[in-house]
Copies of this chain bind each other. A is one copy, B any other.
């Protein structure tokens, strides 16, 4: 498959460019008989919409979704669901230099080589963070399917910005509070410090990276198709598709690698009929298969590459070195808007696996 498709039984295709006519997503393989409306999608889109705060880009996009196919009487039909957002507030003028002067840390140079100079470089084209709105459209359908059919729910939030880290948090608190501030960190005190760090970076013409943590509850046992489509395999593949992601870990992650087996193993016990583990260092996955405990994933986002502060780079046409300052309406930190994107990509993968393993019927009951 070319790169704009993900999934095998529940397939998402993304299309569109940052500064083109529109951006969109098509889902093929959604079971028939599921209630779905544009407001289901819109609700999720609002969570990642730009222009909402001082810590994000000032591009003002209404990001209003239209569902073009796949629905009949407000129910899915089993046919492909095409969803689209028409681009409104695209300002292409500031991107003209990008064509020949690649921004450090950006896709400009590699995409120029791969596509022979023919790619749409305006606003990074296909490589723009704006395309994550297409992930959220597909993610909204996936989340609805998972909730509707299986009671699965994914909750992602800002875990770290720069060096400021949220300590362990209860799932219910994270779920309830993660959208109470513009940092999407469920602890408002921590969020305040994170905001200050981001604003300072912005003032300095700089950017900051961070970490999103995600917890998924309601998991059945046995999702995943070892060896090569283990749950970690397919989740990481989807998460590394999000621009700026450079690190992914499950459960105790890298820290768990410094431990002994006796410390890191999760021992089994029974809670009524349900098999549980006392700790969850595995992050809910054993042998590449879900074990029924919450999925716990942390995803590292590098600092945004576009910064005002001057950087050395090349002019690809002249071959000489130049100094580049990237103006424009960039996010000084992409993490606050990444939480709904992470929730979406995880849900897209889980929906696919749930269908593949027979946990979701081909037809729902309307």
Which A residues contact B (CB, under 8 angstroms)?
1-6, 8-11, 13-17, 20-24, 26, 28-29, 32-33, 68-70, 72, 75-82, 84, 102, 104-111, 113-116, 118-120, 122, 125-127, 131, 160, 162-163, 201, 204, 206-211, 221-222, 224-230, 232-234, 236-238, 240-241, 243, 245-254, 256-270, 275, 277-278, 281-283, 286-291, 300-307, 309, 311-314, 316, 319, 321, 356-358, 361-364, 366
Which of B68, B207, B222 is within 8 Å of A21, CB to CB?
B68
Checking B29, B119, B229, B237 against A79 with a beta-carbon cut-off of 8 angstroms, the contacting residue is B119
CA–CA, A311 and B268, complex, Å: 9
Contact between B69 and A4 (Cβ–Cβ < 8 Å)?
no
- The count of identical subunits is 4
Q: How far does the Cβ of A262 sit from chain B's closest Cβ, in whole Å?
A: 5
Q: Which residues of B contact A20 (CB under 8 A)?
A: 68-69, 72
A125 surroundings in chain B (CB, below 8 A): 72, 77, 79
Is A104 a contact of B267 with CB atoms below 8 Å?
A: yes
When the two chains form the complex, which single residue of B8, B211, B256 contacts A254, counting CB atoms closer than 8 Å? B211
A122 to chain B, nearest CB (A): 8
Q: Known contacts A15-B70, A22-B68, A105-B282; is A254 also within 8 Å of B260 by CB? A: no
Contact partners of A245 in chain B: CB under 8 A: 232
On whether A253 and B110 interact (CB within 8 A), knowing A11-B5, A125-B77, A234-B237, the answer reads no
Q: Within 8 Å CB of A228, what residues of B?
A: 3-6, 14, 237-238, 241
Contact of A233 with B227 at beta-carbon distance under 8 Å, contacts A78-B115, A307-B265 already known: no
Instruction: Please pick, from B119, B160, B232, B267, the residue contacting A311 in the complex, using a CB distance under 8 A.
Output: B267
* Bound-complex Cα distance A234 to B303 (A): 22
Closest to A132 in B: B227
A-B contact pairs, 6 of them (CB 8 A): A3-B288, A15-B79, A72-B119, A110-B291, A162-B259, A227-B241
